[in-house]
A and B are shown apart, each in its own frame.
Chain A
């Protein structure tokens, strides 16, 4: 079966990895999916996913998170994607591909993107039970499962992938050894000095490194499973599992079998257009291709470039792939490692500039040409300058080379920003986006935020290493083009919430009126302000109360007038004007006696009861004048306010943890209670939710919380910025294997930094996406104290904890405040006649009054109730 003349020409793509997917996108961009039938044969059981970020599976990203394939895209472009059905053979004569399922596809153009396979040294027992490779999601799932019964694991290979695998094993609670044949870690990317800095940091993390030794044999027990390995220096290493991660080899089997020329050390030989040298109808791209410069590229950026080149060639456009930059920036085991350009100084007459600080695990080397041109470099421990340096490579930097590697404060002049870069400097090497294109996105396409620029240019959507530079460029460009972005909080204040926080803290301002009259916009001074800034300022004053000398009680003095009705009545307003009541149940743990009290109160006041998502009990249908009566009984029984009404800490959910659960590894209930009691009453820019899970099974759903804690065999992992709701976001891992004290200290800092810098009503998830530098920046600030503010953040939290008082206990003991809880000022004993109820399912529900006018459109209603 061959294509007949006049029929739609067919492109068959073999392999649906990252490069394959990029190739499909390039076809679509060129309109080729409209003029061609496109068939994709994918071996793995799932379509293309982000293999570069594979390890992030262990910090909580699901296979779905890693997916690169939008099925809408596949569908919209009429692409025929066969998942789990690899190509078995190619008949170049007949121009057909046969898949494992037996399906035969004719092609006019065949594109091989078969990728690579992990190299496993040919040692005895390499296929024994307990031996793994590290390449696909399926490999990871298998490793995760097996790691449950292994105490010690060995990783063969100390290169980039080896360190990734080692980090993953360690994260699974396995004692991890790295066996590297070369005399140093990451021999391809870093030199001896960089390797030494890396070694110290990796060893400090508790991993054991064996360099300069090879694997001779895998030792197995009687049941055939791995028990250890024999090394080339004669020693033996006991290990319950072995992960081979010693590099990859091009998958060129299919090409060999159909007579395509392959290189001596593998790889399908192609020309500059990525066309195989043997057959003009066949292309090869990505890790299976031997490029015209004689190299096989194992990085994603060159693969993407090859994909674009092949698509352009098929579209009969001019394009060529003549070689690529091997620059890489990675974070391995939490250590930044970057190398770029001529990292090893192979250029004639080049010189090195080296800065090394073994104590801090820092190593920075720049390779400089005779004429002062920056040729390349290696950064270990701190790769912040990578984006700028890589873009400067090939030019003479505008400042002296040593100032580029010296740390700030050690005689280095101001850091060289991206504004110093020329327009043609490549900022995003994954998608080949230049500084000029990014500037154009701001000036011509009117993008004003990093997410908009990412969407417009694709920059920063690959490996993500350039996002920091991207942020700086966007800001600089916005400022330069004089675009007036009014970042003011509202019509009353031209400052952002963050700026107001700093003003309140620094000048110890304790009232809203004082702040408005001194720092408000001219037109707003002396007025009554507005309903946007009043609660925002009230929240700032409440967060800082003990430190600035304001009352920490939100109903005191002027503060009472600033609160939304929920905070003002310390309860949640419901649609008919009644309120709901949520007592605090720390960690979701409650005694039968207290449950009975809640039941009795709800029964006596006729309240509707419902279990909340935060492991507590909500009682609905209370009238204003009933609130103090209800709370008098709750306080009497030992309950406190649950702050369900406030932009404040809500709950810290927990699973039962190691006390009861046979899988639990830590006492999650105790930790949840401790945290809930520590942060109760903390006012913040938006509500704060938390959870603690006692093991990796994550029954408490901590990864969907503002700060979530998951127990490990060695302590606690802290995740931040998670969110459920309408825009779900999986939390990011901030730090691993923390002790109790380390965990609390880090959360103290994180929360106070968030409260300090977030916008009004900005959850941690959006804050983390918006804040320049994102998660890395936040980690620098709260873990590494890069701004030197951690002492202050901790002090602020200590003051909050020391000054916490239960708002409801305080209110029911204050006759003046109680006088506000009346239905009518002139008839305090008459219930509001509008608040009525009707029965439903053995409880009550609001009897809604008839409306004289229609409701607003549903969209507005949703915005009003969910956002505020």
Chain B
């Protein structure tokens, strides 16, 4: 019996083309930490939750090394915007747009994300 707001029922969903794709329970996301999820056709996404509860989703593949590791990076706030730093060579990516903050020519895919 709990009086706290029940969140276990909430699911995280991603927009793929025109449909919402259900990934996992919201409770699987620790604030400040990412998880990787497998999408149809073998694509991978990195999901994040910040301390305010906002959710973000970008491609999991680190374009600088080719390894699928962005979900394992440290997150932070740079000039008011949320980012993740690749755990391999530390380049930072804006979590909203997927833009690399350390190299303006590089961008990874970003996804719309919601709870339902």
Residues on A facing B (Cβ under 8 Å)? 491, 513, 524, 527-531, 534-535, 558, 560-562, 564-566, 568-569, 573, 575-577, 819, 823-827, 830, 832-835, 848-853, 855-856, 860-861, 864-865, 868
Contact = CB atoms under 8 A, between A and B. Distances in A.
A827 B82 CA distance: 27
B37 to A, nearest CB: 5
Given A535-B74, A561-B33, A865-B89, A824 B64 contact: no
Nearest to A573: B87
Contact of A527 (B47, B64, B77, B88): B77
Contacts of A562: 32, 74
Main secondary structure of the interface of A (DSSP, over half): loop
A530 B67 contact: no
In the A-B complex, the 9 residue pairs with the smallest Cβ-Cβ separation, listed nearest first, are A561-B32, A849-B66, A530-B76, A527-B77, A577-B67, A531-B74, A565-B87, A531-B85, A864-B89
Interface of B: 23-24, 28, 30-33, 35-38, 42, 44, 47, 50-51, 61, 63-69, 72-78, 80, 82, 85, 87-92, 103, 105-106
A825 B24 contact: yes
A853 B24 CA distance: 31
Contact of B76 (A531, A573, A575): A531
Contacts of A861: 89
A524 B92 CA distance: 18
B77 A524 contact: yes
Contacts of A853: 63-64, 105-106
B74 to A, nearest CB: 4
A575 B69 CA distance: 10
B41 to A, nearest CB: 11
Contacts of B63: 851-853
Contacts of B37: 824-827
Contacts of A856: 64, 89, 91, 103
B69 A864 contact: no
B60 to A, nearest CB: 9
Contact of A824 (B38, B78, B82, B87): B38
Nearest to B42: A833
A587 to B, nearest CB: 31
Contact of B65 (A560, A565, A575, A819): A575
Contacts of B36: 823-825, 832
B88 to A, nearest CB: 7
B42 A528 contact: no
Contacts of B78: 491, 530
A823 B71 CA distance: 10
B51 A564 contact: no
A579 to B, nearest CB: 10
Contact of A848 (B61, B66, B91): B66
A623 B114 CA distance: 30
Nearest to A830: B38
A829 B28 CA distance: 16
Given A528-B82, A530-B76, A825 B68 contact: no
Nearest to B62: A577
B5 to A, nearest CB: 19
A575 B88 contact: yes
A564 B89 contact: no
A561 B32 CA distance: 5
A565 B38 contact: no
A577 B87 CA distance: 9
17 contacts: A491-B78, A528-B75, A528-B77, A529-B76, A558-B32, A561-B30, A561-B33, A562-B74, A564-B87, A565-B74, A566-B87, A576-B67, A824-B38, A825-B24, A851-B63, A853-B63, A864-B89
A227 B22 CA distance: 91
Nearest to A861: B89
A569 B72 contact: yes
A825 B67 contact: no
A823 B38 CA distance: 9
B73 A565 contact: yes
A825 B61 CA distance: 16
Contacts of B28: 819, 825
A824 B24 CA distance: 10
